[in-house]
Amino acid sequence: MAIPGFAANVRILFRDSDVKTMKRYGVDLSSYEDVKARARDIYGRLVDGDMPCDGAWATEALNTFKEWMDGGMLP
C-alpha cells in the first residue's frame, strides 16, 4: 500500500466547512504547511472527537491521517 500524501489523501478528509471554521482559529486545513506543522495536535483532537465539532471521523479516515503522519507527511 502506498504512503498517503496530503493532496491526494489527507486534504480531501477535511470538508470545506471544516476549513472555513478552523481558519477563524488561525488554522488552515487546506494548507499542507499548516496541517503538517500541527499534525499531532490535529490528530489528537480527531481521536478525542473534539474535531470536527459535529461528529467523529470514521476509523478509516483516522487511519489515513495517522499513516500520513507516520509515513513522513508527504505533500
Q: So what's the pLDDT on residue 52?
A: 87
What are the boundaries of each domain within the chain? 24-75
CB within 8 A of 61, min separation 6: which ones?
13
Q: So what's the pLDDT on residue 5?
A: 98
pTM for this entry: 0.93
* Backbone phi, psi, residue 69, to 5°: -60, -50
- Residue 51 Cα to chain centre, angstroms: 10
Q: What is the pLDDT of residues 20-48, one digit of tens each?
A: 999 999 999 999 999 999 999 999 999 99
Cis amide prior to 75 (ω within 30 degrees): no
Of residues 56, 37, 38, 55, the one with CA closest to residue 47: 56
Q: So what's the pLDDT on residue 30?
A: 97
